[in-house]
Structures are given as C-alpha cells and as structure tokens.
C-alpha cells in the first residue's frame, strides 16, 4: 500500500477536508466569543448599577455569601459539558472584574509575591485586587486591623501538620472576624538556581513547609541545613541569589524568581492541603446570610473543673449541631489555662444552632464568635 503524501488533505467521514471543517468551527467560536464579550460588558454595566445602589445605604462592595450563592446557582443550572469544578474559578474571576468597577479590594497576605498565601488570595478574590504584601502573618493582622487593607488572608491549618498556631493566637487577640475561607492544594517543589541536587547546602522555607517535607529531605538531602524563613517565596528569593541554597515553594515562585524545578512534589503527603481564612475588622464586617453550607468559628474557655470540656459538647449533641474542629491552645495567662477553638456546621439564624450557642455561652468563662461564613465547597 502506497504511503499518503505528507501534504495530502485529511478527511472526515463527511468528505470535507479537516482544515475546512476546523476553519468553519473557529469562525463559530469567534462569533460566540463576541457574544460572550457583549454579555460580559452587559453584566459589568449591571454591576456598576448595583454599586450605585449600594452607595445609597453604604452596603459593602464584596459579599462572600452573595458570591457563594451566585456560584451555587450557576453550577446547579450548568448543562455541561463544562465541568462544575471549572465553573467556580471562571465565575470568581468574572465577579472579581465586575467588582473592581465598584472599587478594587485591598487584600493583605504573607509575601513576597509567589507564596501560597498569594495564590489563596487570588483563588478567593480573583485577580482584580490591589495586593498588600506583608512580611509576616502578624503584619497581615496589623494591616487589616488598621484598615490599610480591606481583607486579610492567613493560613489556619494544614492537613499534614495541623493548625498554624500563630494565626490562632492572633485571631484570639485581634479585633478581626472571619468572613470566608478557601482551601488550597499545596505542592512543594525543590527549587534551585542550578540544575540537580549536587552542591545544595541549605534548604530555605517556611517552618510549615520544612515540616511537611521532612521525610523527603531526610532521605535525599540529609546533610543540608534546614533554614526556617518567613515564607516559601522568601526562600525562593534567597535561592535565586545563591546556588548553594534550594527552596521549597510553588511553580509560581519558580517562575517569579527564575529557578529550576529540581524535584517536583517533595511533600510527604500527596494530598497536602492548607486551609486559609479571610479576615476583616469586626466593625465593618457585614453578617453573612445563610447559604446552606456555612460554618461558625468560636474560641471559648471554661473553668478548670472535672467534666468541663465534656459539658461543652452536650449542647451540640442535644440540638443536633455538628462540630468539625476542636483545637486547644494555651491561654498565655501563665496559669496553665487553655482556650478551645471550635468550628460548627450551620448558621446562627437556624433555631437549633442558636439554641446550642446560647447554652454553650452560658457554660463558658470566655466566649468569642470569630465569624460566621460560607464554607469553601467549590
């Protein structure tokens, strides 16, 4: 059988050349793109009109509960073939662009550029924000409390290493409320200025990242110093200046600082996730409306007596309220006292949740609601 010439046209079953069919389909796609652009600008004009109405009563530009409801509705109406897990990021970016017409949100996060905290901020707010890059988690809280940022994004727990203790301590002390959350798959890559692992003397990363990769580091770089720095992106910045230093950071950080990915995905747990919370001053935080998948975060303490911690759980069981997190932290009083961070499923407007909260409050020597907000289910 003779070979087909390389320049011969390819045919589909209907007999037309593939190039002709592709050309026709691309013309149709271009026409749909024009329709999408027109609809996008129509939506933006409506968003501007909403912004003008909001100004009349001082309503906030950004409502996490409202945006969660919009995404839920769009996903429920989605006929496919676009997958539902692709709908949320598309609509978040769309809403971010429209929201920016009312006013760009100033969002504080742990820097420098290239951290997972930055990625969490972009995932939650979209890219149409003004970044407030902070050198530490403490500074994220300070900037947000002082309202030099509208919102702050801070890590609160990791699926491998557990809670981020500093974030919990600052939530206890600060005047900020949790207004939202987002969860990020965290992949730590070994980054370096040179190719290969030979000559690496230091691995620089945030303490959490070093802990999440300790098994791999012990096996493959046992002689290298593990140097804790303020963020993974700071480690990447250092690695860009010194070939003896490697970093544990994201591919985004590798691109940002011109580094090679010497070894991808070196975290000890394949499904390594970090949960971030979105914080805002209580004085300007707007109560979230129920969405059907909500969370209430509390911090409480009880008198040191037998059965006190057990008694905290009784109102929850009695009223059928599910608890998804229970963490203890030292109260820093010097008296060996502890506070308990609790996450409950539900919203304060639900009768059973309200009843459980009232009973719980009556049992506690200290009771603080850190926030009521939509869960990240997208």
CATH number at residue 341: 3.30.70.260
CB under 8 Å to 1, separation ≥6 — which residues?
Answer: none
- pLDDT in the model for residue 61: 77
Q: Tell me the per-residue pLDDT of 292-306, one tens digit each, with 9 for 90 and over.
A: 889 999 999 988 788
CA 37 vs CA 90, 247, 281, 340: distances in Å? 14, 41, 36, 50
DSSP, residue by residue, 332-365: SSSSS-EEEEEEEES-TTSHHHHHHHHHHHHH-S
- The tokens describing 209, both together, are 């990242």
Query: Is 276 among the catalytic positions?
Result: yes
| Strands 151-158 and 176-185, bridge-based pairing | unpaired
The residue-averaged pLDDT of 64-79 equals 86
Q: Tell me the per-residue pLDDT of 84-119, one tens digit each, with 9 for 90 and over.
A: 888 888 888 888 888 888 878 999 999 888 888 999
pLDDT of 65 strictly over 90: no
Please report, for the domain that includes residue 149, its CATH number. Answer: 3.40.190.10
Q: Which stretch of 138-152, 242-256, 276-290, 326-340 has the lowest confidence by average pLDDT?
A: 326-340
14 in a domain, yes or no?
no
pTM higher than 0.85:
no
Same-domain pairing of 86 and 113: no
pLDDT of 8 strictly over 60: no
Residue 371: in which H helix or E strand, if any? Answer: strand 366-374
Query: Is 326 among the catalytic positions?
Result: no
Q: Quote the Cα angle for 321-326-330, to 5°.
A: 140
- pLDDT in the model for residue 13: 58
Same-domain pairing of 28 and 81: yes
- pLDDT in the model for residue 107: 96
Same-domain pairing of 360 and 345: yes
- pLDDT in the model for residue 270: 83
- Count of CB atoms situated within 10 Å of the CB of 162: 11
Mean pLDDT, the chain, rounded, equals: 89
Exactly one of 276, 291, 340, 341 is catalytic; name it.
276
Q: Which of 250, 278, 306 is the last residue of a domain?
A: 278
Q: Which domain holds residue 123?
A: 104-186+273-278
- pLDDT in the model for residue 304: 79
Q: In the chain, what percentage of residues exceed pLDDT 90?
A: 58
- pLDDT in the model for residue 377: 65
- Count of CB atoms situated within 10 Å of the CB of 166: 16
Exactly one of 182, 274, 291, 340 is catalytic; name it.
274
Residue 261: in which H helix or E strand, if any? Answer: strand 260-263
- pLDDT in the model for residue 330: 83
pLDDT category at 336 given cuts 50, 70, 90 is low
- pLDDT in the model for residue 150: 94
Q: Quote the Cα angle for 248-260-244, to 5°.
A: 65
How far is the C-alpha of 46 from the C-alpha of 42, rounded, in Å?
A: 6
Q: Are 133 and 107 in contact (CB under 8 A)?
A: no
Same-domain pairing of 295 and 363: yes
- The tokens describing 8, both together, are 């011969």
């Amino acid at each position: 059988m003779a070979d087909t010439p390389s320049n011969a046209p390819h045919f589909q079953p209907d007999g037309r050349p593939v190039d002709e069919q592709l050309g026709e389909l691309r013309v149709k796609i271009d026409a749909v793109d024009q329709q999408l652009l027109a609809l996008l600008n129509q939506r933006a004009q409506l968003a501007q009109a909403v912004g003008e109405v909001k100004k009349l009563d001082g309503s906030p530009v950004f409502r996490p509960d409202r945006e969660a409801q919009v995404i839920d509705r769009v996903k429920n109406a989605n006929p496919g073939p676009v997958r539902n897990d692709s709908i949320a990021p598309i609509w978040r970016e769309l809403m971010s662009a429209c929201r920016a017409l009312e006013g760009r949100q100033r969002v504080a996060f742990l820097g420098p550029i290239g951290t997972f905290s930055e990625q969490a901020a972009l995932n939650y707010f979209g890219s149409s924000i003004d970044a407030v890059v902070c050198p530490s988690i403490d500074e994220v809280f300070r900037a947000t409390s002082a309202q030099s940022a509208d919102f702050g994004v801070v890590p609160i727990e990791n699926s491998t290493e557990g809670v981020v203790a500093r974030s919990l301590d600052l939530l206890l002390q600060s005047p900020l409320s949790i207004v939202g959350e987002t969860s990020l798959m965290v992949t730590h890559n070994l980054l370096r200025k040179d190719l290969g692992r030979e000559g690496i003397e230091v691995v620089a990363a945030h303490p959490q990242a070093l802990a999440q990769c300790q098994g791999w580091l012990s096996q493959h770089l046992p002689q290298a110093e593990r140097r804790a720095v303020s963020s993974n992106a700071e480690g990447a910045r250092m690695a860009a200046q010194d070939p003896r230093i490697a970093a544990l950071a994201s591919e985004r950080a590798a691109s940002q600082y011109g580094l090679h990915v010497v070894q991808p995905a070196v975290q000890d747990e394949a499904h390594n996730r970090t949960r971030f919370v979105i914080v805002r001053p209580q004085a300007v935080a707007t109560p979230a409306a129920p969405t059907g998948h909500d969370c209430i975060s509390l911090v409480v303490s009880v008198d040191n007596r037998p059965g006190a911690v057990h008694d905290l759980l009784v109102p929850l069981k009695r009223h059928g309220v599910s608890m998804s997190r229970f963490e203890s932290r030292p109260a820093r009083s010097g008296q060996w006292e502890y506070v308990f961070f609790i996450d409950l499923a539900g919203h304060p407007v639900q009768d059973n949740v309200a009843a459980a909260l009232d009973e719980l409050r009556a049992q506690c020597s200290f009771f603080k609601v850190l926030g009521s907000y939509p869960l990240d289910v997208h």
